[in-house]
Structure 1
Amino acid sequence: MSDTPYQPEITIDRSSGLPLYAQIAEALGALILEGELAPGTRIEDEVSMAKRLQVSRPTARQALQSLADRGLVSRRRGAGTVVASPHVRRPMELSSLLSDLTAAGHKVSTELLEYTTHPASEEEAARLEVAPGTEVTHVRRLRSADGEPIALMDNLLPASTAPAREELEQAGLYDLLRARGITPATAKQVIGARNATAKEADALDERRRAALLTAKRTTYDATGRVIEYGDHIYRASRYSFETSLFTG
């Protein structure tokens, strides 16, 4: 891929009632959505764009930020404005994120950020429906799709059934549990939303206080035993849940 930033050929109608920044954003957005600009393509900076298109720098900045707000580009200090990977849509099913992303054709990678085993606190014991002091394992992973961070995932499991840290870097949690004879059967899940903390935004390559989707899930086997508790956050700019509804 060329190191030269892409310079869009945009015709601006100064007599139009549509603001100049919106005209620029619409033209660039159409190129991205139509696949003319591949993910990872670097777009010229606002200074260059403003000079070339003969608009003010705030106008160029607003156009690029408008695209970022729609999730079509990512803007990072030092990296500039880059065309983002396609939005990830995930069905609301009892499956692992790794399996869903792989099945959808995304190139997936996992970074294990934390792996600790310790006696369960009262809150942790309640999550897993075990006695306080029972050995539990806490895992935190950063999952990326097509080179972009998508989710931060915290999972709590009984230490006796938790996969090894090396395994979790290579495979999905549910697949590893199944290999141990532990089959996820049902789950209770709560979907929500909130703003990212500074630390979360940094890990997910987002701006501070960016919108996040949250999912808290307790998973059970066929006997009703809790096999894991997950507390996950997802970039709302890159990720969404899908569900089917039926009349009763």
Structure 2
Amino acid sequence: MRDAANRRSKTPLYRMIQLDLQRKILAGDLPRGSWLPSEAQLQRTYGASQTSVRRSLLELERLGLVERLQGRGTVIAANEVRAVSPMLGLGQELRQRGFSILAEVLENEIVEAGETIGARLGLGPREHVRRLRRRYSAEGTPLVLLEHHLRTDLVQGLQDFGGDSLYAFLLARDAAPHHAQERVFATNLDAREAELLALAPGTAALVRERTAFDGSGVAVEHTHYVLRSSADDGYQLEINLQATP
């Protein structure tokens, strides 16, 4: 595995460990109910640090493939990836909420990944990715700015993307994401964002960031959404909670 890591240094070691174990789990080589080797054994096997091994196990746990039991170790929980929630593109989600969406492509170009996007997509900072910048409007009001970064080695034909549903475009090319990680936080609009959303600089807005993965756990795309979030004409995130007995 150390030799493989040297040959494929653009892929973080924790991701290589995750994918190697994931393949064995999905193939049934590590059946449900069996135990993974200890963290110390995995460190020796893969020539990795404790941090890399633990992160790989966290990723497997997030996919529902393993369960980490304090003081006992890591047990195989399933031999298939469990989708946590339906995978919808933001355009699909907004249409389901009743918005009539107009999608515009603002930029479509090849750029260097950089440190942040490279880390999200498992690439080196100087490797190239496709960057798409789009805007969604509803009834003449700019609603969302979208910035996508996609791996060009996994998704072909992105130069022809027309601007509507990115996930439908990916599905037609057998590259639709299988699952994703997402986080939501608040921001204040910078000058460029404010101009594109027809708001004043410094206006509060909502940010959603999503990294989407294929069925083997490889990151396909990372998207940064900036959403107009006023109560009257903006995006609102509603969460329903239910008590359990």
Of 154-163 and 233-242, the range deviating more from structure 2 = 154-163
1:164 is aligned to 158
Query: Given the superposition, is the C-alpha separation of residues 144 and 178 from structure 1 closer, same or farther in structure 2, using an over 3 Å criterion?
Result: same
Of 207-216 and 92-101, the range deviating more from structure 2 = 92-101
TM-score normalised by the chain length of structure 2: 0.58
State the AA in 2 paired with 1:167. Answer: F
Q: Which runs of 5+ in 1 are unaligned?
A: 1-91
2:238 paired with 1:242: yes
Contact 2:212/2:221 (<8 A) preserved: yes
Higher radius of gyration, 1 or 2: 1
Post-superposition CA distance 1:105-148 (Å, at most 9, x none) = 32211111111113433333211012444331111111111221
d(CA) in 2 for partners of 1:115, 1:211: 27
d(CA) in 2 for partners of 1:106, 1:163: 29
2:116 paired with 1:112: no
d(CA) in 1 for partners of 2:142, 2:159: 20
State the AA in 1 paired with 2:110. Answer: T
TM-score normalised by the chain length of structure 1: 0.57
Contact 1:183/1:222 (<8 A) preserved: no
1:194 is aligned to 187
* Residue 190 of structure 1, CA deviation: 1.1
Post-superposition CA distance 1:148-190 (Å, at most 9, x none) = 1111111110123155344242x21111111111232221111
2:91 paired with 1:98: yes
1:204 is aligned to 197
How many residue pairs match? The answer is 156
Q: Which runs of 5+ in 2 are unaligned?
A: 1-84
Query: Given the superposition, is the C-alpha separation of residues 246 and 209 from structure 1 closer, same or farther in structure 2, using an over 3 Å criterion?
Result: same
SS at match of 2:237: strand
Contact 2:111/2:129 (<8 A) preserved: yes
RMSD value, Cα: 2.1
d(CA) in 2 for partners of 1:244, 1:221: 28
2:211 paired with 1:222: no
Identity within the alignment, %: 29
Please show how residues 3-152 of structure 1 align to structure 2 within 5 Å.
Answer: 94-152=87-145
SS at match of 1:177: helix
